[in-house]
A and B are shown apart, each in its own frame.
Chain A
Amino acid sequence: MTELIELTIEEARAGLREKKFSAVELTKACLKSVGEAKELNAVVHDTSELAIKQASNADQILSKGMGESLCGIPIGVKDLFCTKGVLTQAGSHILNGFKPEYESTITKQLWDSGAVMVGKLNMDEFAMGSSNETSTYGNAINPWQEVNDSRKLVPGGSSGGSAAAVSADLCLGAIGTDTGGSIRQPAAFVGITGLKPTYGRCSRWGVVAFASSLDQAGPMTKSVRDAAILLKTMSGHDEKDSTSADLPVPDFESFLTGDIKGKKIGIPREYRLDGMSNEIEELWSDGMKMLEEAGAEIIDISLPHTKFALPVYYVVAPAEASSNLARYDGVRFGHRAELSLGDGITEMYEKTRAEGFGDEVKRRVMIGTYVLSAGFYDAYYNRARKVRTLIKNDFEAVFNQNIDAILTPSTPSSAFAIGEMENVDPVQMYLNDIFTVPVNLAGLPGISVPVRLDKNGLPLGLQLIGKPWEEGDMLNIAYSLEKSASFDAKPKKWW
């Protein structure tokens, strides 16, 4: 029999109802797995006591023949979500010791539906990074290693802890957030499914803000169906977030027929980068073949402003971050610097923020401050917002030509080694998000599906981009791709 920790959410949902095991047994198995995986540094705050309590409650509900899909399912939570009474630091020293007095809307919806919190998961500081190397807790480590090479690899970022935890079977699924690729890129790096919903599908209330017009939470799971199950519970309008859409939440699982006959899949020619590796090229064309064999039509499309997406992102996201992170001032929560005699309030702000923020966060706050400052606002920030309109128009134009979804690689490469990008300039690291960033700029849903291993034995994923609010249709195409790819590799346990 498959070990409990290896189950998908779908399998565990069935097993719990057939009384093959209890939620407490399932939770204990995950907690044991967490305990054995310290080396991965994926779980940064222990919530085992709470987990057992939640699991016993879930067992009571299940014993009455009740309970929603997630009842009794152990889920990991990115450290960006505020969880009442449980440390929430967004991977930053500046939120040292912060225990929220309230629960984020998304996690509240999870616990209300009976889900169990396995632990808080590692991440890049304030979700700024693509390798989980900027966390105050230290690096999260990818469970995967190259064949015959024991170098430690990054799990991607910023939701690196979530990715590592799901891939290493520490939890059945996890929640992450995605501002420029922070769910899809790490999902691809560890061989799991990661979905960023349409902007506004999930409430941002209680999720520590990075760039408010781009941030969106989503599921990271072992299968496409699990993503559909978890997304349903995460979604919905919230009075506390005026940008959350007041739209009915469909039963995403019911879209998973696997029938994609006649679907039109766009292949954007601008994503064919100069110097793209053969392996990524082949992965992409194999994906096209799989969808074509399943009855879809592959259509060459153009998204002419693609190359401007990263420069737009690196104006807009830091601008919003510089404003959002102004709240970390050493007054209301978190870290406050020791002051010298004669220091006033300005010195307190400056010293607190110098000590509390890491280098990447400082860099982005300063870039944001610069592009918003008098004299440069029009040249940078407003220009970037105008180009963002052009990028969104590109997508609208192809969807108006009846394209159902767009297929691209998820990342330009497989996972790289810890420290490998340390001495390159920051822009090189930003290029990791080249295929994912345009999706956030346009507010669209996107999903990364694991497809195969590269020549070094590391996972590679493909991304599908859907129409706004049509996650269901996108999930169904992803489901078809998943079936054709039949990726079932697991990392070899070394930890």
Chain B
Amino acid sequence: MAIDIETARKVAKLARIAIDDNDLPRVASELSGILSFMEQLNELDVSGIEPMTSVTPMELKRRQDQITDGNQQSSVLANAPENKEGFFVVPKVVE
């Protein structure tokens, strides 16, 4: 299935990547190319096949529901582009 410019715009929006209008035709055509490569998968009958969820059959480990870590505010904030009084700072979210 080919991706048109409107679909490319929508996908970029969903992926939260700003793309200039002038670049949309190029992006749409690249994405279409990759998707058409994937069309081969339609040659196969996959009815009755389980989708793979884990490459190695293993039971997920469990542990006690206990706090094992914490009190690391300064470490958590150390790499933030902007922080103030122990919080991450972001642009205004609600009007």
Chain A residues within 8 Å of B, Cβ to Cβ: 97-102, 198-200, 213, 239, 242-243, 245-246, 305, 307-308, 310-312, 314-315, 322, 326, 329-336, 339, 343-351, 353-354, 357, 362-363, 365-367, 369-371, 373, 380, 382-390, 392, 425-427, 430, 441-443, 468
Contacts and interface: CB of A to CB of B under 8 A. Distances in A.
B89 to A, nearest CB: 9
B67 interface: no
Nearest to A307: B40
Contacts of B39: 311
B85 interface: no
B55 A315 contact: no
Contact of B61 (A198, A242, A443): A242
Nearest to B79: A333
13 contacts: A200-B55, A311-B39, A312-B41, A314-B34, A332-B76, A339-B91, A347-B91, A366-B15, A384-B38, A387-B44, A390-B44, A425-B30, A427-B33
Given A363-B31, A366-B27, A369-B11, A334 B81 contact: yes
Contacts of B81: 330-331, 333-336
* 7 tightest A-B CB contacts, nearest first: A443-B55, A385-B51, A336-B81, A333-B79, A350-B18, A354-B18, A101-B75
A61 to B, nearest CB: 29
A382 B51 contact: yes
A468 B57 CA distance: 11
Nearest to B8: A366
A365 B91 contact: no
A385 B34 contact: no
Given A365-B17, A366-B31, A334 B79 contact: yes
Interface string B50-93: 11111110101101000000001001101111100000101111
Interface of B: 3, 7-8, 11-19, 27, 30-31, 33-35, 37-42, 44, 46, 49-56, 58, 60-61, 63, 72, 75-76, 78-82, 88, 90-93
B91 A344 contact: yes
Nearest to B63: A239
A345 B50 CA distance: 40
A336 B34 CA distance: 30
A427 B34 contact: yes
B34 A345 contact: no
Contacts of A390: 44, 46, 49
Contacts of B92: 344-345
A367 B35 contact: yes
Given A357-B17, A426-B34, A427-B34, A308 B41 contact: yes
A200 B56 contact: yes
B50 A365 contact: no
A363 B46 contact: no
Contact of A308 (B35, B44, B52): B44
Given A334-B81, A345-B91, 7 more contacts: A335-B81, A339-B91, A344-B93, A362-B17, A383-B46, A384-B41, A389-B51
B61 A246 contact: yes
A405 B41 CA distance: 27
B88 to A, nearest CB: 5
Nearest to A102: B75
A427 B37 contact: yes
Contacts of A385: 51-53
A388 B55 CA distance: 9
B14 to A, nearest CB: 5
Contacts of A339: 91
A433 B75 CA distance: 39
A443 B58 CA distance: 13
A331 B33 CA distance: 33
B80 A332 contact: yes
Contact of A369 (B15, B37, B76): B15
B56 A315 contact: no
Contacts of B41: 308, 311-312, 315, 380, 383-384, 387
